[in-house]
Amino acid sequence: MSVDMRTYLAHVELANPITTAAGCASSGRELSQFFDLNRIGALVTRSITMAPRAGRPTPRMAETPSGLLNAVGLQGPGIDAFLDRELPWLAHRGVRTVVSIGGGTVNEYGALARRLTDAPGVTAVEVNLACPNIEDRGRVFARDGAAAAEVVSSVRALMRYDVPVIAKLSPDVADIVAVARACVDGGADALSMINTPVGMSIDTETLRPALAAVTGGLSGPAVRPLAVRCVWQVYAALPGVPIIGVGGVLTGRDAFELILAGACVVGVGTALFHDPYACLRILRELEELLSARGFQRLADAVGLAHHHPPGGGTRHRADVLPDPGAPGFGAAPGGSDLEESSL
């Protein structure tokens, strides 16, 4: 049985929910050697900055158990080269393109939005808030709801009305729901989570930090439970807001887990480094899994775990789809099992 895999990012329809994660497929050219980029829901670019950036010194990647630490530091040729060469290449091929942007000041994000607003081929803009705010002692925007909201509202105000603005959140905060809510109040049409939490590794041979930058962002399967928890909490608090779930997705089952938590789109990052076909494989596995569970539409699985108490045992669609007549149908539970006291 085939499953209707269509999904929506605000009003924008995607043919299926699998996208690349920012920074893990550059601007798509390398990946296009392996498959037609139109077969995935969308290509999310690496974060584009105003000026070209060389990135951080090496070593800037280190493997950790079930994870990868990176301190690449938004390497890229800047907005001019992106608009001259990379975006037209994607637009020419009709690839659904989510342009990720990064900046050091609210004005820089705004300037990027101004450059992108009339550019053909921008499906959505994803605001990478995991950048240090140089006007606030390098405090990362994503860790401060007010600063994050200021960035989002400046991008929203300058971006064409029909291009959704997505706020990408970091898990390194005391209250992800508060930051998510601030971003939505600031005008975000959708949310993406999670960016990499900050980690560190020390080489016990050289007795030095493994990364030149000392700390780096942790990605890969190690962070998936963090991503599931963030998606779960935000979906419960803001059930109408589309969520892109990102973090440690290697298989269709992993994508399904994020979807059950509340994601309607799933980003694939680190998996691409050892399997360039990962997006297509994950899409196929997800579709097979949904079909085997009796789902006719992906949309029916989004957030479904919220309608059922925790517990074991195999469930199929007929068992798990909420009964519209049942009390509380449509109301997202508050996530009481995640209260501080039970952690």
Ligand X SMILES: Cc1cc2nc3c(=O)[nH]c(=O)nc-3n(C[C@H](O)[C@H](O)[C@H](O)COP(=O)(O)O)c2cc1C
Find out whether 70 is annotated in a ligand binding site. yes
Name the minimum Å distance from CB 243 to ligand X.
13
Residue 247 marked ligand-binding: yes
Q: Which is nearer to ligand X, 95 or 194 (CB)?
A: 194
Host H or E run for residue 27 = none
Nearest residue to ligand X on Cβ basis? 23
Q: How far apart, in Å, are the Cα atoms of 294 and each of 17, 56, 71, 321? A: 18, 48, 42, 10
Q: Is 52 helix (H, G, I), strand (E, B) or coil?
A: coil
CA distance 136 to 140: 9
Q: Which is nearer to ligand X, 95 or 307 (CB)?
A: 95
**Residue 38 assigned ligand-binding role:** no
CA 168 – CA 304 distance, rounded (Å): 23
Q: Give the torsion sign (CA, 278, 73, 92, 163).
A: positive
Does the annotation place 55 within a ligand binding site? no
> Per the residue annotation, which of 24, 131, 264, 279 is the catalytic one?
131
**Residue 11: strand, helix, or coil:** coil
Q: What pairing do the DSSP bridges indicate for beta strands 202-203 and 215-219?
A: unpaired
**Nearer of residues 230 and 300 to ligand X, judged by Cβ:** 230
CB of residue 120 to ligand X, shortest distance in Å = 23
Cβ closest to ligand X, residue 149 vs residue 307? 149
| Shortest Å, Cβ 61 to ligand X | 7
Nearest to 338 by CA among 265, 195, 234: 234
Identify whether 131 is a catalytic site residue: yes
Quote the least distance from Cβ 247 to ligand X, whole Å: 4
In b/e form, how buried is each residue of 39-50, taking b as 16+ CB within 10 angstroms? ebbbbbbbbbbb
Q: What does DSSP assign to residue 171?
A: S
Q: Which residues bind ligand X (CB under 6 A)?
A: 21-24, 46-47, 68, 70, 72, 74, 100, 128, 168, 195-196, 219-220, 223, 246-249, 268-271
Which residue numbers belong to the known binding site? 70-74, 128, 168, 194-196, 220, 247-248, 269-270
Which residue numbers belong to the known binding site for substrate? 70-74, 128, 195-196
Active site residue ranges: 131
